[in-house]
Amino acid sequence: MKMSNKLIENLSAIREQAPLVHNITNFVVMNTTANALLAIGASPVMAHALHEVKDMVNIASALVINMGTLSEEWVESMIVAGEKARERKIPVVFDPVGAGATPYRTSSALRIIETCKPNIIRGNASEIMALVDQTMLTKGVDSSVAADVALESAKILASGNNCVVVISGEIDFITDGIKVESVGFGDQLMARVTGMGCTATAVLGAFAATNPNTFQAAVFGMMVMGITGECAASKSIGPGSMQMHFIDCLYSLSEIEIEKATCILQ
């Protein structure tokens, strides 16, 4: 089967099954990531209370953990939810937002990885490097280096934790420690909208919920992010309209658009 057909099959599975994606995410992106998940055809729920996360994981098809606005109580909820997800064998996707910006973020990210054993870790280059080299500094939540600079760190992180690592940027890299895929779709306006990376992580949750091949789900999720980003940028005059068009393009993304975007890759 052609790669584009497999991607379309994975996207159709999301739209048909509407998997429940449980997000423990940050205050900045709760609304936009819920809208992105709805637009792609998944069913989002945001829930972080310690008293309910186990029960929510119990009915979910994937768990997305994002530490963008972390606090000690939230980290406890993330760990309890992650452990329950492992027990149920549903995919866990982790976004180490701002790892490397403060020691608390870096140590919390490492603790979450250790206990929740995520299937996919998605971050920008600085965040991924900070998880491997603790002297690396991240400028808040933004990367200060290009994605390819973090590739060796991503491989080490993936091999050491038996997971798939995604580095996002102008070019995205996906690795399981041995294989490496790159995704070149996307537009620079994406980096001017807050939470595009968090949206990518949530979208990966929807792909992983409906595709047992985690590596493939990660590649497809990033391809859809990039193709949608290009579609949205072509209709936008700046970050505000970009944010709106991104949701609309995700909703209407068609087989023809996917075929057209990927035909050069066959």
| Chain positions contacting ligand TZE, by CB under 6 A | 26, 28-29, 68-69, 97, 141, 194-195, 197-198
Is 197 a binder of Mg ion (CB under 5 A)? yes
Residue 111 is assigned to a ligand binding site: no
Residue count at the site for Mg ion (CB under 5 A)? 2
Residue 12 assigned to a binding site:
no
CA 35 to chain centre: 15
Distance CA 151, CA 159 (A): 12
| Cβ-proximal residue to ligand TZE, closest one | 68
* CB atoms near residue 126 (< 10 Å): 25
- Binding partner of residue 226 among ligand TZE, ligand ATP, Mg ion, none, CB cut-off 5 to 8 Å per kind: ligand ATP
Q: Nearest distance from residue 95's CB to ligand ATP, in Å?
A: 7
91 vs 186 by CB, closer to ligand ATP: 186
Residue 229 is a binding residue for Mg ion (CB under 5 A)? no
For the chain, helix (H) and strand (E) counts, in that order, are 11, 8
* Type of residue found at 163: C
Stretch that binds Mg ion, among 84-92, 94-102, 171-179, 240-248 (CB under 5 A): 94-102
Does the footprint of Mg ion cover residue 195 (CB under 5 A)? no
- The dihedral built from the CA positions of residue 22, 27, 29 and 32, taken in this order, carries a sign that is positive
Closest residue to ligand ATP using C-beta atoms: 197
| Residue 123 in tokens | 């971050």
Residue closer to ligand ATP, measured from CB, 84 or 214: 214
- Amino acid letter, residue 170: E
Closer residue to ligand TZE, CB minimum distance, 157 or 198: 198
SS3 label, residue 95? strand
Strands of the chain, DSSP E: 20-24, 43-46, 62-66, 92-95, 120-124, 164-168, 172-175, 180-183
Phi and psi, residue 67, nearest 5°: -100, 30
Positive or negative: CA dihedral 169, 159, 74, 214? positive
Q: Is 122 annotated as a binding residue?
A: yes
By a kind-dependent CB cut-off of 5 to 8 A, residue 69 interacts, out of ligand TZE, Mg ion, ligand ATP, none, with: ligand TZE
Binding to Mg ion, residues 32-91 (CB under 5 A): none
- By beta-carbon proximity to ligand TZE, the closer residue of 196 and 258 is 196
DSSP for 115-179 reads HH--SEEEEEHHHHHHHH-TT---BTTB-SS-GGGGHHHHHHHHHHHTSEEEEESSSEEEESSS-
Comparison of 70 and 225: residue with beta carbon closer to ligand ATP: 225
The closest alpha carbon to 209, from 91, 51, 66, belongs to 91
C-beta closer to ligand TZE: residue 25 or 210 = 25
Which spans of this chain sit near ligand ATP (rule: CB under 6 A)? 97, 124, 141-143, 168-170, 172, 186-188, 190-191, 194-198, 200, 225-226, 229
Annotated binding site: 46, 122, 168, 195
Annotated binding site for substrate: 46, 195
